[in-house]
Chains A and B, each alone.
Chain A
Amino acid sequence: MFHYKPLLTSLALSASFIVAAPVANAEENTILLGAAISLTGKYATAGNHAKVGYDFAVDKINAAGGVKIGDKSYKFTIKYYDDESTPARGGQLAERLINQDGVQYMLGPYSSGLTKAIAPVTEKYKIPMVEAEGASRSLFNKGYKYLFAVLSTSEQYLASAVALAADVAKANGKDPASVKVALAFENDPFSLDVRAGVIDDIKKHGLTIVIDDKLPRNLTDMTATMTKIKALKPDLFVVSGHSKGAGTATRQIAEMKLSIPMVAMTHCESADLVGKYGATANGYLCATQWAETLTYKDPMFGTAAEFNAEIKKTVAAYADKSVPYQLAQASAAVYVFKDAFERAGSLDKDKVRDALAATDLATFYGQIKFSEAGNNTAKPMVLRQIQDGKYNVVAPTAFASHKLEWPRK
């Protein structure tokens, strides 16, 4: 593991010193977390949200007395590198964090692709990683032991919309089998994950699929799918094709004067449906990991609403826009580490790993409990409906702030 080269620069010396003696950190009473995150490149916007979330949680936890292990208290610090949104770079930086900077505990990068590149490295060195931004289910069928994700995986994204449609049918005295569903999914790993979850739930609730279209990567026009909807009149239309899919579908549903009682999609927020298309987007159901109106809470950050308000107060960039869920789940990941350290009562990374695996924590972001595979199975996906230009939580009903408007007008 250690590469002592004949010519040791002072930098390498100090780095290897940290690797050889993580206890040195303990004497300074700090716990060093490492993260390679996309600060430049195509994921820069979302990557920066995640970084703000990490930093906010670290400051908050440190200000509240830090992490208490035994009778000592420790402060978190994070060592960041910019992975430039490229997986190969992410993998290299993970090696560097572990081998040169002596990082023993990792926070995740942004996106499934980067997480896929880094997880094999952390696994190799048996470094526990809590990630908050990689939702692909392919991350959780590799048998990783040191990977934990606080967010819901992508096949859960729109599955709740199917359950909701079945509930509405039952409430109206109809057989769920009479509910016709139209599907339009992009042919990429994320959207196909979402589709797999939707198909599973359609089978479970016994709905009928009438249209099952795939969308191309360079989608511009969905007229063909929309024409099929005109012919077959589905009761539920589920779309996932990143922001261009959400935007194109919204635009063309209005342009072709389609009346579909229920429409569910991903990426409503990033496609800026309300800003671009105004009232025509009313009634759409949008999948999200988290919303500030949820009634979740914890002793560190308070309720979801309090977390939201505090971010707006402390980080100027969010003062006049809504706090993205990417930020909230990053904060939750740091909080999960704090909880695990305290339960482990040790800085030993394997004990921390075991404590992480046993996590069952209520947070402002939702309940966090990891499955054998490392994904969070306790937190449901949230569905928000666009009502008069506002995103209001309508499902899961236990945490919902508003009632579903059905059928959409």
Chain B
Amino acid sequence: MERIWSNIQIMIDIPVLTMGMVIDGLLIGGIFALIAYGLALVWGVMNVKNLAQGDFVILGAYVTWWLYHAGLSPIVGIPIAFVVLWGLGWVIYKLIICRVIEHDLFTSLLATFGIAIVMQQTMKIVFGADEQTIALNLESFGFFDNMLTIQPTRLIAFIAAILLAIGVITFMKRSRMGQAIRATAQNPRAARVMGIDTEKVYSFTFSLNAAICGAAGGLISLIWEFQPFIGLIYSIRAFVIVTAAGLGNLAAVIAAGLGMGVVEQTGAFILGTEYQQAIVVGLLVVVLLIKLVISSRRREVVE
């Protein structure tokens, strides 16, 4: 308890450090928002809660890392990871997801949980269990006598995440496929009546999500170390963000993603690095409780 107070005292005494953590949190929060957006897409359109979300991310990281060691810059590697994961997403949809989409919640949860386990073990066999990372060893930008440092890789990742998000959003708003996806999300039966091939929409949506995860994983490979079994914490973060922000509310997803980055950084500083992931799960509980209270107050008409 005493330690917690002294940590808070440091944050107040040296505001530039606090600023550093907030900036850092916002930068990594951009990537979390991206992963969460993909999850919200699949959840909203197909009502499938993808527990393998984080494992798609880690596979994207491995693809980028593998290409980097084959001599390809991450600037090329990340788009390739996007394409590779798109293909994998399509295969997984055709093999498994299309069979569980009409069933209840637990079938799709179990199916995606199974996919997660298979992916983890396969990555372990193919790439080994060691931690990997792409260390570009770029010099950080230092301000205020290096009390505030901004890492170029995080900045690049943040910008790339924003560009990708803008691209996806424009696609969803403007293109025929984007409109079809939104129509299917609103009412699949009506969409089918209007001549939309919902099967195609589903396979496209699932592939798009996998591709977004692949690109996000590529960005993560530039920032952190990863290994085959670390995907779960990215899944949990995405679930917390989507649960807090709700489906179909993009601005809220981005805000929640950035907020999560900041809460994680400052929370870990105050409580200790040990609690960094506990904070994420703790947030989920808080969010669910708040939602419960709100929904119990709202009166709905029973039809």
Contacts and interface: CB of A to CB of B under 8 A. Distances in A.
B6 to A, nearest CB: 10
A257 B149 contact: yes
B272 interface: yes
B122 interface: no
A231 B149 CA distance: 13
Interface stretch (A57-65, A273-281, A379-387, A394-402): A273-281
Interface string B221-238: 000111101101100000
Nearest to B226: A220
A276 B268 CA distance: 26
B65 to A, nearest CB: 11
A190 to B, nearest CB: 16
Interface in A224-254: 224-225, 227-228, 230-232, 243-244, 247-248, 251, 254
Given A244-B131, A257-B142, A221 B137 contact: no
A228 B276 contact: no
Contacts of A184: 273
B29 to A, nearest CB: 12
Interface in B210-255: 224-227, 229-230, 232-233
Contacts of A224: 21, 265, 268-269, 272-273, 276
A143 interface: no
A251 B136 CA distance: 10
A254 B265 CA distance: 18
A280 B137 contact: yes
A231 B273 contact: no
B277 A218 contact: yes
Nearest to B10: A231
Interface string A174-195: 0000000000100100000000
Contact of A214 (B142, B147, B274): B274
B21 A247 contact: no
A222 B135 contact: no
B187 to A, nearest CB: 40
A255 B140 CA distance: 6
Contact of B272 (A214, A255, A270): A214
Contacts of B276: 216, 221, 224
A256 interface: yes
A325 to B, nearest CB: 18
Interface in B263-286: 264-265, 268-269, 272-278
B272 A220 contact: no
A221 B21 contact: no
Nearest to A246: B131
B131 A243 contact: yes
B146 interface: yes
A42 B129 contact: yes
Interface string B108-139: 00000000000000000000011101010100
Contacts, number: 97
B140 A257 contact: yes
Most chain B beta-carbon contacts within 10 A, residue among A42, A187, A224, A251? A224
Nearest to B130: A243
Nearest to A256: B149
A215 interface: yes
A227 B274 contact: no
Contacts of B269: 224, 227-228
B225 A248 contact: yes
A223 B21 contact: yes
Contacts of B7: 228
A354 interface: no
B17 interface: yes
A230 B147 contact: yes
A256 B130 CA distance: 24
Contacts of B17: 227, 230-231
A126 to B, nearest CB: 37
A214 B273 CA distance: 6
Contacts of A187: 274
Nearest to B129: A42
Contacts of B129: 42
Contacts of B272: 213-214, 224
A353 to B, nearest CB: 37
A223 B268 contact: yes
A247 B273 contact: no
B273 A244 contact: no
B21 A216 contact: no
Contacts of A220: 224-226, 230, 233
Most chain B beta-carbon contacts within 10 A, residue among A42, A213, A223, A248? A223
B14 interface: yes
A69 interface: no
Contact of A247 (B24, B133, B149): B133
Contacts of B147: 230
A227 B278 CA distance: 19
Nearest to A271: B131
Contacts of B107: none
Contacts of B275: 216
B20 interface: yes
Contacts of A227: 17, 20-21, 269
A225 B131 CA distance: 20
B224 A248 contact: yes
A56 B147 CA distance: 53
Interface in B10-28: 10, 14, 17, 20-21, 24, 28
B47 interface: no
A259 B281 CA distance: 34
A227 to B, nearest CB: 5
Given A213-B273, A223-B24, A228 B10 contact: yes
Nearest to B24: A223
A29 to B, nearest CB: 43
Contact of B137 (A219, A243, A277): A277
9 contacts: A214-B274, A216-B278, A220-B224, A225-B273, A230-B20, A247-B131, A255-B149, A257-B149, A271-B131
Interface of B: 7, 10, 14, 17, 20-21, 24, 28, 129-131, 133, 135, 137, 140, 142, 146-147, 149, 151, 153, 224-227, 229-230, 232-233, 264-265, 268-269, 272-278
Query: What 5 A-B pairs come out closest when comparing CB atoms?
Result: A224-B268, A214-B274, A224-B269, A257-B146, A244-B131
